[in-house]
Structures are given as C-alpha cells and as structure tokens.
Amino acid sequence: MSPNADFVWSAPADAEFRACPRLFWFQRLAPVGREPRERTTLVLRSLRSRRDWADDTVRNAIRWILDTLRKNGAPPAEETALQLLGKRLQKDFTDSGEGLYWDDPAKIVGLLEHEYDERDVSDEEWQEVFEHALVGLSHFYSSTLPELRQFPSAAWLDAGAGVCEIEGVRIAAQIGAAFRQGDDIIIFKWDTKSRGADDINSAALFAAQHEISAPNKIVVRERRLDINEATETRFSTDTFAAAKTALLAKAKELTALRDAPEKSFALSKSDEPCSTCRFVRICPKFNSPESAS
Ligand code: SF4
C-alpha cells in the first residue's frame, strides 16, 4: 500500500495546495517519524495560528455542548461553557508559550506565534483572540442552539467523521450537525470565519452520498459565529451537479499527487503565504539542506 493511500481531500487541504504546493506536501503528505527532519515536520505540522486555534477550541466546546444536550436532554449552562472555554484557552496558551508541544505534539497545542516569536503579537492581539472565541460561543448559545433544539432527537443524523468516497477519491466535509426533516437533509455548519463554497459543496456531497437524498432536498445552513450571521444554501439538480463536477476535479487532482516526490511540489514564488507558514524552519526556500532539520 502506498504511504499516503489514506489521503482525504478537504477544502482546507485544497486551499493549502493553491496557496503553495510545497506547504500542502509538508502538511498532508511528507513522511513523519524519528529522523530529525521528519520529527520536526511532525511538530510543525501540528502548529496552529492563533485564530485557527480559537476556532478549533470553540468547535470542540460546541461538540461537548451537543453531546451533553443529546445525552441529558439539556445543554450545559452558557456561563459554565464560557468559563470552561476560557480555562481551556488559558491552559493551551500557557503550555504553548512554554514550548511543551515539542514533547507531545499530538496532545499539547502549539501556536505558530510562539514557535516563530519574531512574528510579534501584542498582548492586546492575544486578548482579542480570547474574546473572539468567547463571543463566538455566546453567539452559538443565542442563535444556533435554539434552532438545533427544535429538532426531535429522532431527527438527528450521525455525521461521523464526515468522510465520503466518490469515484475512488475520499472527500472530507466539516459538518456541525445534520437532521432529517421530511424529505430534506438539513446540515448545520458553524465557524468563526468564512470557509467558502468548497466547504459548503463538500457538505452537500457528503449528505447525498450518505443519506440518499435527492440534491434538491439538501440544505446547508452556515452560521458565522463571529458576526452572528447565517446563510442558507439549497441545491437544485443542476447546481449540485456543477458543484460535484468541480469538487471532484480538484479532489482527483490532489489525490493523483499523493505519492509524488517532494520536488514535484513547487515552492511559492510569492512570499505572501510564507509570512504565515508553519514550515519556514525546514522549507528549502529559506534553508540549506543541512540546516533544514
Ligand atoms: S515557507 Fe513558503 S515556500 Fe515554503 S512551504 Fe511555506 S509557503 Fe511554501
């Protein structure tokens, strides 16, 4: 079996590839192990920007809230959830600042801005990230949670890992919650930043694949938790077919590259993606081969 046979296409993976093919290779395909460069790749791969870290932490908090709701019939109090989120953020921030992720990158959060401390972040900017996360969770309580609670427990669908396989390529979709309502499949997604059309289309593809729903019965509701605004996408047979064709073309392109050697993946000519890239320490654009480990 090829080393990357389990490659899964996703909208974020595609965005990485379009920004810089080598960044995509480091993040998704490069070997990781004990050899120094491989070990460094593993650690750098786990790093997150402060905004992505805040978003992931909010999503984890929401997962816990929904698990509690489904188990107990009621969600935890908002105040409790906000306190726990604040504590989680503070602990991650402290651990990352001490560089503990080098010991256990799978379990301990590492922040880009701590690894590359030359990318100076002021106390005010850190404070903004904490507030951004807390406000996002508060918006979830005031807007999305009441919507989700309107669905009876029998209507909840198990989205699992959100991975489907179409024409031999595996596609991951980020799905917050999914419901059956009559013949409709309703997918809820939430985020604290805009994710774009690929993200919505992959969710629809997942629904079509797993819930045997006609394309015009799939509804994707997306809420931007930072600004507390919602959008709804309902597909027609034609718009679904167009979205599927475009998405599959991208997924096949990247899947075909999964065993290509590192040198096949171009370095970004522009320095723009490099300014926030987690792989600057080992990327050949900035290092001689001997120093990149
Ligand atoms: S440092 Fe720049 S060229 Fe290298 S992988 Fe990152 S984005 Fe690409």
Look at residue 290 and tell me whether its pLDDT is greater than 60.
no
Residue 281 makes CB contacts below 8 A (sequence gap 6+) with 40, 44, 115, 287, 292
Q: In a mutational test of the pocket of ligand 1, which residue from 24, 29, 280 has the highest number of ligand atoms less than 8 Å from its CB?
A: 280
Q: Is the Cβ–Cβ distance between 186 and 204 less than 8 Å?
A: no
- For residue 25, the tally of other CB atoms under 10 A from its CB is 23
Look at residue 171 and tell me whether its pLDDT is greater than 60.
yes
| pLDDT tens-place string over residues 238-256 | 888 888 889 899 999 999 9
Mean pLDDT for the chain?
90
Domain residue spans in the chain?
A: 21-150+267-292, 153-255
Look at residue 212 and tell me whether its pLDDT is greater than 90.
no
| pLDDT tens-place string over residues 40-96 | 999 999 999 999 999 999 999 999 999 999 999 999 999 999 999 999 999 999 999
How far apart are the C-alpha atoms of 9 and 205, rounded to whole Å? 13
Look at residue 208 and tell me whether its pLDDT is greater than 80.
no
- Helix (H), strand (E) at residue 87: helix 78-97
Atom of ligand 1 nearest to the CA of 25: 5
pLDDT at 111: 96
- Residue 279 Cα, ligand 1 centroid: separation in angstroms? 6
Atom of ligand 1 nearest to the CA of 268: 3
- Residue 149 Cα, ligand 1 centroid: separation in angstroms? 44
Q: In a mutational test of the pocket of ligand 1, which residue from 49, 285, 286 has the highest number of ligand atoms less than 8 Å from its CB?
A: 285
pLDDT at 132: 93
Q: Who wins on pLDDT, 198 or 133?
A: 133
